Amino acid sequence: MNARLAAIATGSLLLAGTSGFMVATAIGATAPAPEKTVTVTIPANATGPTGPTGPTGPEGGITCPDGFVPGVLVVNHPGGQVSVYACLK
């Protein structure tokens, strides 16, 4: 009975691993892999003035301008943490 249980457990792990790989591949195919991560820590009571509104960007996938690479921007603030996939310099 132990051999049968071990075979079932091994098969389950193989199926779960294959499923995880397929999901990771599908998600990774939709956007370029980040080349770097930048973390910004914002202390409490550090509100600055609102800047001007920028131009509307193009719709669709991310295309970084020269000198920038796709990456993850992590912003730490008193309310928690936010991650943004963006072009970073």
Per DSSP bridges, beta strands 36-41 and 69-77 are: parallel
Gap between the Cα atoms of 82 and 75, Å rounded: 5
Over residues 7-63, the pLDDT tens digits come to 565 655 555 555 555 555 555 556 778 888 888 887 777 678 899 999 998 787 778
Output the six-digit token pair for 27.
Answer: 């998600």
Quote the pTM value.
Answer: 0.39
Domain spans, the chain: 1-30, 32-46+62-89
